[in-house]
């Protein structure tokens, strides 16, 4: 008899927490004309540490939550997050994926791709697309800085949550205390 495997749920709930905290931060700094995007962190842990099924489930659910809260056409984040997840999943066996540093590098690269892809997809809808690129570049710098600052905490949060649930993130097997 197979026991229930909650790894996808743990990662999805942690991603939801980060997205909520990011939304609160963006609300408080909106007067400064600044926006932080942490989509790379939402994909990195599930793609690096979980098996393909649980990681993809967590990524898809997270992307659907992001799509429902962001002013983008529905399915945009789902497509982009799935693409990033697939690329990381394809290449993850070549690198050490247990360390925080490598997860942070993956999150930075994923965040860079996501911000650029969203910018190219959505900047044409604005009233002055050419004037938006300086703002996008500034937001990208703030977002990458935020990934560097928040990333180690978020990865440690997910690792610790897996420890509290007594589940090995990669295998799903119970971990003895």
CATH code of the domain in which 80 resides:
1.10.1760
In a domain, 87, yes or no: yes
Q: Residue 1: its pLDDT value, please?
A: 34
List, in order, residues 6 or more apart from 84 with CB less than 8 Å away.
Answer: 40, 43, 47, 110, 113, 114
Range of the domain at 126: 6-165
In a domain, 64, yes or no: yes
Number of domains, the chain: 1
Q: Rounded to 5 degrees, what are φ and ψ at 35?
A: -140, 135
- Tokens representing 161 are 């949550």
In a domain, 174, yes or no: no
In a domain, 172, yes or no: no
In a domain, 60, yes or no: yes
Which is more confident, 68 or 95? 68
Confidence of residue 56 (pLDDT cuts 50, 70, 90): very high
Average pLDDT across the chain, whole number = 89
In a domain, 54, yes or no: yes
User: Global pTM?
Assistant: 0.90
In a domain, 170, yes or no: no
Percent of the chain topping pLDDT 70: 95
Q: What stretches of 70-128 show up as alpha helix (H) in DSSP?
A: 76-91, 100-122
Question: Tokens 């570049």 label which residue?
Answer: 137
* Chain centre to alpha carbon of residue 33: 23
174 - beta bridge partners?
167
pLDDT(171) > 80 = no
Cα separation, 10 vs 28, whole angstroms: 27
Chain segment 109-141, per-residue pLDDT in tens: 999 999 999 988 888 666 776 777 888 899 999
In a domain, 173, yes or no: no
């Amino acid at each position: 008899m197979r026991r229930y495997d909650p790894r996808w749920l743990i990662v999805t709930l942690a991603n939801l927490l980060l997205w909520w905290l990011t939304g609160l931060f963006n609300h408080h700094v909106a007067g400064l004309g600044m926006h932080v995007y942490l989509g790379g962190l939402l994909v990195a842990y599930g793609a690096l540490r979980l098996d393909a099924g649980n990681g993809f489930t967590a990524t898809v659910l997270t992307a659907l939550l992001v799509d429902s809260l962001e002013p983008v056409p529905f399915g945009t984040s789902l497509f982009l997050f799935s693409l990033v997840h697939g690329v990381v999943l394809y290449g993850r066996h070549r690198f050490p994926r247990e360390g925080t540093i490598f997860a942070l590098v993956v999150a930075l690269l994923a965040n860079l791709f996501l911000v650029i892809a969203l910018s190219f997809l959505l900047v044409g809808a604005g009233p002055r697309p050419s004037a938006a690129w300086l703002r996008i570049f500034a937001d990208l710098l703030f977002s990458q800085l935020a990934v560097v600052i928040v990333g180690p905490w978020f990865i440690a949060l997910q690792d610790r949550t897996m420890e509290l649930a007594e589940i090995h993130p990669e295998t799903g097997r119970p971990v003895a205390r």
